[in-house]
């Protein structure tokens, strides 16, 4: 049932060029739309830009350690690393009693960090549900804590104006009917029962928590699921009928031929691409990502999503590195979800609290270069990244050059008429240095942190439509 080959699912976002329309293959379960969704719900998803991911489940209790041995792999996969049978793993439920859990505190922390949405693991691969599902006993209801964690979180985040997204693993290591591959008629029958069980759980989530804005599917890489692409199309349709406007990630989807994320004609399935896990597209070479919506997600250590007690096992990113990844994603038209793995007692580890605080402080000052922003269409410079919102183009400076001159190459027909430090209002010196090239001077005193310059931009009469589009 454990499919470690599953990690290959992460590289499935490889994208082949779409075929000329007349050569396209007829698909029953391929993309049902070309190009980005432009409705209000999708715009909101996109404009939010910064989100948090929360991985919380039974795996937080052992925190990467089983029978005295600490496993360096991802803590939420410990059941697989230590080869723990389901019956034994689920005994952790007797110890699920997070006395420090306070949903309102979590929501305040998210607000302080400046995230506009939170993606919560409703059920990870282990099969333990954070809501009292009536379709299984592996839920919070049958723990000493008893209460509906998911319900409390949805309410608390929504009360703070934060959108809630649901992470849901289709692969379920604790369900007797789950199959990673189908070899016999018996397997087939069991797996069809499992798909029905999954439909029921999803319908249950949609009706119990109707404010949910997004479903982010994971654990969809096994052969059994790829061979049933029809079911992934059905789930997308079912959720959209139940919850108008809801968004669904590409990772859910497989087409008639088991092709994932992008269908056999090269068109994105689902509403946004979701393969950038712990990595980002190259800012120069991978501009194709600006043609569709996408969301990346990142961990602070190299690869820990659930709580792991030993963070000395790998490098841990500092707040500036987190901020740089957020801006990098936005500069290429993507979202970023920064992960948290709460402790078994319901509190957050110190490192995560400090990170959230530092990111929040920066976002308060400079967040206008993130929220509602998009790819600017300007040539990348080594000092950092561009983002844009309507007529404002932002320079987000991470590496000021030794010269103190920030080079800006503008597209044909664009003129820079001013440059202002975001947060401070200081005007920066702008010098035209060549055709379509400017130098923007550094602020007088060193900001001591990544900083943001808002460019005032004008179009001259010779401006091509292409760049007019980039500015409106």
Number of residues engaging ligand H76 in binding (CB under 6 A): 8
Q: How far is the CB of 306 from ligand H76 (least distance, A)?
A: 7
Interface with ligand H76 (CB under 6 A), residue from 3, 58, 74, 243: 74
Q: Rounded CA gap, 425 and 419, in Å? A: 9
Quick one: which segment of 72-80, 317-325, 436-444, 462-470 binds ligand H76 (CB under 6 A)? 72-80
Query: How far is residue 164's CA from residue 337's CA, in Å, rounded to a whole number?
Result: 12
Smallest gap from Cβ 410 to ligand H76, in A, equals 38
Residue nearest to ligand H76 according to CB distances in the complex:
305
Residue 326 CB partners (closer than 8 Å, separation 6+): 49, 50, 336, 338, 359, 370
C-alpha–C-alpha distance, residues 69 and 471, integer Å? 56
166 binding ligand H76? (CB under 6 A):
no
- What mask of x and - would describe binding to ligand H76 in positions 427 to 466, judged by CB under 6 A? ----------------------------------------
* Minimum CB distance to ligand H76 smaller for 92 or for 471: 92
The minimum distance between CB 303 and ligand H76, in angstroms, equals 8
Of residues 7 and 315, the one with the C-beta less far from ligand H76: 7
| By CB under 6 A, residue 305 contacts ligand H76 | yes
| Nearest by Cα to 32 from 355, 265, 208 | 265
Nearest alpha-carbon partner for 254 in 225, 274, 296 = 225
Between 295 and 374, name the residue whose CB sits nearer to ligand H76.
Answer: 295
Cβ-based burial of 139 (10 A; exposed 0-12, middle 13-18, buried ≥19): buried
Q: According to the binding rule CB under 6 A, does residue 218 interact with ligand H76?
A: yes
Beta bridge partners of 75: none
Q: Which of 163, 236, 277, 295 binds ligand H76 (CB under 6 A)?
A: 277
Phi, psi of 55 (to 5 degrees): -105, 110
Q: Which is nearer to ligand H76, 218 or 295 (CB)?
A: 218
**Shortest spacing between CB 305 and ligand H76, in angstroms:** 4
Strands (E), 40-91: 50-54, 65-66, 69-70
Give the nearer residue to ligand H76 in terms of CB position, either 173 or 438. 173
Instruction: Tell me: does residue 126 bind ligand H76 (CB under 6 A).
Output: no
Closest CA to 47 of 34, 32, 36: 36
Q: What's the first-to-final CA gap in the chain, in angstroms? A: 50
Strand order in the sheet with 384-389: 384-389, 392-397, 451-459, 414-421
Point out which span in 71-79, 140-148, 181-189, 262-270 binds ligand H76 (CB under 6 A): 71-79
User: At how many degrees (to 10) do helices 319-331 and 350-366 cross?
Assistant: 50
Least distance to ligand H76 from the beta carbon of 45, Å?
A: 18
Residue 76 or 263 having the CB closest to ligand H76: 76
SS3 169: strand
**Residue 2 or 238: which CB sits closer to ligand H76?**
2
- The binding track of 76-105 with respect to ligand H76, each residue x by CB under 6 A or -, is xx----------------------------
Q: Which are the contacts of 276, defined by CB distance < 8 A and separation ≥ 6?
A: 13, 294, 295, 296, 297, 329, 334
d(CA 125, CA 311): 22
7 near ligand H76, judged by CB under 6 A: yes
Binding residues vs ligand H76 (CB under 6 A): 7, 74, 76-77, 218, 277, 297, 305
């Amino acid at each position: 049932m454990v499919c470690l080959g599953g990690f290959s699912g992460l590289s499935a976002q490889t994208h082949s060029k779409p075929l000329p329309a007349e050569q396209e293959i007829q698909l029953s379960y391929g993309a049902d739309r070309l190009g980005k969704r432009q409705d209000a719900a999708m715009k909101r998803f996109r404009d939010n830009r910064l989100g948090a991911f929360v991985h919380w489940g039974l795996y937080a209790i052992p925190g990467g350690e089983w029978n005295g041995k600490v496993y360096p792999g991802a803590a939420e996969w410990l059941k697989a690393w230590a080869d723990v049978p389901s019956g034994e793993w689920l005994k952790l439920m007797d110890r699920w009693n997070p006395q420090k859990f306070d949903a309102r505190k979590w929501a305040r922390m998210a607000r302080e960090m400046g995230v506009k949405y939170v993606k919560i693991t409703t059920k990870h691969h282990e099969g333990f549900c954070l809501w009292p599902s009536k379709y299984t006993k592996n839920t919070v209801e049958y723990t000493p804590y008893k209460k509906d964690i998911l319900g409390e979180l949805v309410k608390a985040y929504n009360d703070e104006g934060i959108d809630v997204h649901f992470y849901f693993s289709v692969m379920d290591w604790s369900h007797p009917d789950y199959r990673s591959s189908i070899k016999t008629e018996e397997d087939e029958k069991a797996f069809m029962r499992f798909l029905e069980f999954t439909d029921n759980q999803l319908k249950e989530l949609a009706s119990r928590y109707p404010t949910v804005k997004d479903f982010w599917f994971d654990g969809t890489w096994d052969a059994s699921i790829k061979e049933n692409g029809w079911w992934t199309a059905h789930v997308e349709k079912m959720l959209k009928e139940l919850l108008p406007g809801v968004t669904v990630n590409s990772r859910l989807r497989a087409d008639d031929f088991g092709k994932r994320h992008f269908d056999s004609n090269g068109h994105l399935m689902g509403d946004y691409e979701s393969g950038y896990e712990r990595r980002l597209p190259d800012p120069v070479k991978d501009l194709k990502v600006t043609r569709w919506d996408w969301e990346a997600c990142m961990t602070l250590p190299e690869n820990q999503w659930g709580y792991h007690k030993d963070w000395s096992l790998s490098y841990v990113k500092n707040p500036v590195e987190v901020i740089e990844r957020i801006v990098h994603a936005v500069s290429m038209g993507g979202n970023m979800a920064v992960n948290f793995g709460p402790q078994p007692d319901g509190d957050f580890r110190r490192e995560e609290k400090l990170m959230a605080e530092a990111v929040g402080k920066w976002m308060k000052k400079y967040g206008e270069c993130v929220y509602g922003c998009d790819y600017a269409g300007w040539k990348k410079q080594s000092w950092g990244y561009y983002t844009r919102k309507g007529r404002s183009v932002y320079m987000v400076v991470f590496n000021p050059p030794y010269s103190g001159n920030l080079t800006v190459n503008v597209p044909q027909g664009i003129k820079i008429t001013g440059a202002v430090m975001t947060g401070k209002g200081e005007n920066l010196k702008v010098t035209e240095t060549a055709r379509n090239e400017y130098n923007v001077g550094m602020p007088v005193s060193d900001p001591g942190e990544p900083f943001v310059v808002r460019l005032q931009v004008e179009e001259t009469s010779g401006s091509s439509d292409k760049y007019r589009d980039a500015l409106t």
